[in-house]
Each structure stands twice: as structure tokens, then as C-alpha cells.
Structure 1
Amino acid sequence: MNRPAMWVGGVLTVALLAAGCGGGGGASGGDELVVSGFSFGAEEFEQTVVAPFEQETGIDVTFDSGSNSDRYNQLLVNRARPDVDVMLISDLFATDGEREGLFADIDPAAVPNRDSTVEFVRDAPGQGVPYTFTLPGVLYSTEAFRDGPPTVETFWDPQYAGRIAVPDISATAGIPFLTAVAETYGSGPQDVDTAFAKLAELKPNVLQFYSSTTELLSLLERGEVVAAPGLDLFAYDAVEAGRPLSWAPLDQGKVLSYNKAEIVAGSENTEAAQRFIDYLLSPEVQSRTAEAFSDKPVNREAAVPPIVEMVSGEAVTDPGGAGFRPLDLEFVADHRSEWIDRFAREVSG
């Protein structure tokens, strides 16, 4: 199975266009509902979400593509006359957009499937609704680590010098690893000064500061790298194929990242938009997307593929019970630009 990447740090995205049901013009005019989402797994998304949604609702759906940052920036440019009704976007970009007033409130009564979701979805701050999540942790060689997975402190072990990779701060695993280092060596996850000092100390031991997961997997499979902070979903294919790679949660700083469905402020099709979001959260759709491209379901009644449960463990169905919590998105939003500059200056530069 070809399992696609999710979202943050330059991940490509897709725009879904759907004609809205009911009266009112869409963001693109007429009766169209425009939904901007992710491009990885676009064909599978069309088969598992779009086509059944069309059949059930009579709403026509077409596709376009773009990156997370490009779509967000376009929304900023077009904020006076938005050409999108629903945006599927990462948690960090969603927080930025909510701060900018780009998104609108969702009527809880119009999205009843949210009541069947895991706790972090029901408690999520802001306006949108999380519909899938991923788990930052550590990807590692099972041949190099026969006695158990690496810990955060393993990356500073001299015996692994030159054989580790670290995510760039803009990669999905970048900020979670920063906060894990802060929690391990500092006073807590917000002690980023200590984290930056430790990462600067680690720099001579790092073979690659990666931003491309394809590049990272190649390094791991060739044995040039034996451990790297990374996302659980990138281990599924390797484990399923029997390659000597695996994933484990970090021993410190267990956080999760998620994608959010947002209604764009100024949309004239909020009823159809909320219908689409509720459909996306249904157990049937959540089960299909999990099977098709490993989107971890947030609906508690959805089925989880065996390989996903094997690699990611109990956190798939109960992330809170497994010790995972969402990032403090407000804190990250306050400092992300500063951290990107600082990482380039003090760590990777």
C-alpha cells in the first residue's frame, strides 16, 4: 500500500470542489462548494470520500492542488472575497488562520459525528474540527536497536555520532522534537532556550537535518542513519514489508499533531460545508480513509487497519490514554517565526 504524508512543512495539498446543496452561492459563485484539502492520496480520497459524498448528497466534486502554505497565503490574499468554503489544513496553519479571522464558527448541532470522536477532538480549541492525527516519535533501525527503541537522550550518545538525522524545525516532527528536548533537558516543554542550546551541541553528530521524509527513509533504509525523530505513519510500509525499521513514541514529550476542517469566513455555503465536515467525521468514512491511506481515525467507532495498530499501538484509538497531548498551539503560534530563524542560525546553519 502506498501511504502518503500528511500535512505540515511543505507538504503538498489538494483542493476539492463541490457544488453545494440548498440555496445560496458558494465562494466560487453559483451553487459550488469549494473544499481545500491535501493532495497526497488524492486519488484514494476521491474514491473513499468524494465519490460516496457525491452519491449520497448529489453534490458534484472536482479537484485542484496546492501546498499548505500556498493555500493559506492565497486565502490571506483573497480574504475579502474568498474562493474557498472549507479548508482542510494542519493544526499550526489552522491556528494562524483563526488568529487572522479567516475562519468561521461551526454549529455543533450541524456536526453530530463530533460527539463520537476521541477526547482531544471534542476538546480542541478554536473554530474548526480535527478529523485525523499523526504521532511524532522516533523512526529507528531494529538492527541497531535490538534491546529497545531510542530515547531522546540517545541522540546525544557518542556511539551514534554521524548516524542520526534530526528534522528541520519546519518539518512536521520539528517542533514536537524541540519541545521533547526542552522537556527532557529543561524545566518543561516551553523551555526552548535549553532545547536550542542542546540541539546546537548535537549539531556535529547529525548526518542530516531533513525536511523531506522521502530523503529520511532512504537514509534509514540504506543504513546511513539508524535513528531520527519522525512520524509513525512513515513506518507503516516498511514494517508491513518486513524491513528492519520501526517507530516508537519518544520517552519524553509525547505530543500529537492533527489536521483540521475549517469553514472559511465569508462562505455563503455554511450548511453544505458543515454537512461535508460531518460526513468526513462519520465512522464509515473514517474507516475507509484509514484503510486507503492510513489517516488515523478520530471517530471512536471507526475501524483501524492492523498495520496501523501494530506500529502505533494503543495511541491509535486512545491517544490521551497513551499519554499523547496536542501541542500548545497558541504558544507555538506566538514563537514559530522566531524559532524558524533561530534554528537556521543556531542549529542547522
Structure 2
Amino acid sequence: MVSETHSIIKTVLFFAGSVFALSASAQSTKLTVAMYGGNWGDAFRSCVAEPFTKATGIAVIPEMGTSTTTLAKLQQQKSAPSIDVAWMDGGISELANQAGVVDNLDPVAIPNLKNVIPKAVYRSGNTTYAVGSGYYSLGLTYSTKTIKQAPTSWQDLWKPEYAGAVAVPSPTNSSGVPFVVFMARVLGVNPANLAPVYNKLGTLDTALFFDSSGAATNAFQSGEAVIGAHFNVGAWDLIDKGVPIAFVVPKEGVWATDARLHLVKGSRNKVAAEKFINSALTPEVATCLATKLYLGPAVQGVKVSSDVARKLPWGVNGSVDSLSLFDWNAINARRAEITDAWNRQVAHKR
């Protein structure tokens, strides 16, 4: 009888120890998440990472960088990735899928995928390689000190009174190549032949062709640029800080894309990574990102205040259906061609 009792006690202690070990293992798990810097990183941490850690005990280690930097790291680490989850922009997302560095998002492990609008769930064949966590747009930004009447068209960039003070993206910037294709729509040009677009852009008297959104921010902040293209996130961040500029959606609309979440293929913490992505796809997180970054929600049924709503990428009275979204595979296929033509036909004319 004593022997049986000892045996039972040992068994109980064994299972108790196993449960404790599993719990401790779960609590000690750390996720490395690639995200953008600046106010983007601040929002991702406060809206997603910190609530996730509070709910699960899993620490989130940010890996700051641009989308292209993150993709380069994932390619370098392909055999043994140190990054578990990655935020990357549309366009780079497709390149990451083609490079084989992102894994399938399983709706069983990530049930909140069902909360996301269909166009923000990205599939290639049977693989779901990314999910959008919010949209942002490239619209018109202008100095309210210099320009008293809000511009209404992208063609206003060519007004003589703005000569020498215009900012638009170069192909080095993630928005530069799609900007060229978008301008074909604005100018009524067949995108199969972009020569008229290059000719028109070549006549633009610019302060700069910006290579990064930070350079655009600096140009509008310093007054070097009084009108031009900028992302709604960057423009409204400046406006909220008191910089005398405004952001508008012109009558021709705005080009837009989204910040997407990816599960890194070969992640050593796949289960925790899936939980992280799942936790990001809720109305609460989407509302937080809309409030802090003015990202247009990809999660269905999100309600925000009227003040936040007017700062979203589609502007007043718009919606996600108002945005000009591109087939990134088609854009990426023409990236080298457009960059070369830009350098020969636009940049050299400055």
C-alpha cells in the first residue's frame, strides 16, 4: 500500500513538474518581430506588442528597419531565421513570398483572419502569405502658410507659383515606382507606354525627388517643399505636432498600400508567432492603429471618431474602396524598367 502511495505521489509530482516546465517555457518564450521605426514602431509596440506580452507573458523584441532591410535580413537568415514575425509593405511582401522566406498563415492557428476584409488577405495558390494590418496612402501635402487655397488635383503640382518647391518620390522610395504608374491614371495615359508620363514629370520643377519618407518629412518641415506627395501617416504626424501643412485627397484619388504581417518560414517560435499575428487582427488593435497612425483599418466593423476618420488614407467620406490599389506583381515586374526610364528621362532634367 505504501509502495502504491509513493508511486502515485511520484506520478503526480512528475505531471506537476511537466506542467510547470511547459508553463515556464511558454512564459520565457521571446518573439523577434521586424517592424518599422519612428512613430510606426511606437504604435506597433503600444497597440500590438505590449498588450500581447501582457496577455501571454511572451516578450516581444523589436527588430527595427524598413521593409527592404527586413527582406534582406530574411534572405540572409533563410536557413536559420532569428526573426519570427515581420511587418513589410505591399510590394516587398510579394517579393518576400517569391523568395520563399514567409510561411503560410493557417486560419486554424490564426482564427482572427476571418475578421479581415478579403482584399487584405494575400494568397498565392493555396498559400496565405500575408495579412494587412492597415492601409496608408500617398496624397497631396502642402504648406498652409504659403498656399491659402487647398489644391484639388495632382496636376496642381505644375502650377508656376510652386516652381522649385515641389516634392515627389523617386523610384528609390517604395512609393516611387507605383507613383509613376498612378500618374499614368491621373494623366489619362496607357500604362503600357509610360513615355508621356516621364515627359510630363521631366517638366516638373522640383525641390527634391525624395528617396525616403523621412526626407519628405524634413522637406515639408523645413519649408524646402511647399507642395508635393507624402504619406498620410507622415503628413498627419507633422500636422499633429503643429507644423503648418495640410493633407488632401485630390479629385483623382490617391495611391495606397498597406503594412502587412508575415510569419517567417522556419521560425523557432511558430506557435507563439501565430498567436502574435492573431492578436493583431482584432477591432481593438485596428482602432488603436487608426488612432495613433491613421492607418485605414483592414479589420471589418471598426468604428473611429470623426476626427480620426478624416485623417484616414481615403479622407473625408471615403473608404477602402476609394483607394487606388495596384497588382504588386505587375508593378514589381516593371520596377527595373521604370527606374531606368526615370533616371534617363526625369532625374537628369533637374
Shorter-chain TM-score tier: 0.7 to 0.9
State the identity %. Answer: 24
Matches within 5 A, 1:248-263: 248-252=248-252, 254-263=254-263
Name the CA shift for 1:103/1:221 in 2 (closer, same or farther; >3 Å).
Answer: closer
Runs of 4+ in 1 over 6 A off after TM superposition: none
Among candidates 114, 135, 138, match of residue 137 of structure 2: 135
Partner of 1:10: none
Contact 2:94–2:328 (CA<8 Å) still a contact in 1? Answer: yes
Structure 2 residues not aligned, in runs of 5+: 1-20
Matches within 5 A, 1:190-209: 190-202=192-204, 205-209=205-209
Shift of 1:107: 1.2
Contact 2:296–2:312 (CA<8 Å) still a contact in 1? Answer: no
Name the CA shift for 1:64/1:266 in 2 (closer, same or farther; >3 Å).
Answer: closer
Shift of 1:348: 1.9
Shift of 1:273: 1.9
Among candidates 144, 148, 163, match of residue 165 of structure 2: 163
Structure 1 residues not aligned, in runs of 5+: 1-20
Contact 2:84–2:267 (CA<8 Å) still a contact in 1? Answer: yes
Contact 2:290–2:296 (CA<8 Å) still a contact in 1? Answer: yes
Shift of 1:210: 1.8
Partner of 2:90: 91
Q: Alpha carbon RMSD of aligned pairs, Å?
A: 3.2
Shift of 1:96: 0.5
Partner of 2:267: 267
Shift of 1:331: 1.0
Indicate the SS of the match to 2:153.
coil
The one-letter code of the counterpart of 1:94 is: S
Partner of 2:336: 337
Partner of 1:62: 61
Partner of 1:278: 278
Contact 1:236–1:308 (CA<8 Å) still a contact in 2? Answer: no
Give aligned pairs, total.
322
Shift of 1:308: 3.4
Determine whether 1:115 maps to 2:117. no
Indicate the SS of the match to 1:233.
helix
Structure 2 Cα separation of the partners of residues 88 and 311 of structure 1: 22
Indicate the SS of the match to 1:297.
coil
Indicate the SS of the match to 2:251.
coil
Structure whose residues are more often helix by fraction: 2
Structure 2 Cα separation of the partners of residues 77 and 221 of structure 1: 36
Normalised by the length of structure 2, the TM-score is: 0.79
Partner of 1:233: 233
For the pair shown, the structure with the greater C-alpha radius of gyration is: 2
Shift of 1:285: 1.9
Normalised by the length of structure 1, the TM-score is: 0.79
Shift of 1:212: 4.0
Of residues 323-332 and 150-159 in structure 1, the stretch that sits farther from structure 2 once superposed is 150-159
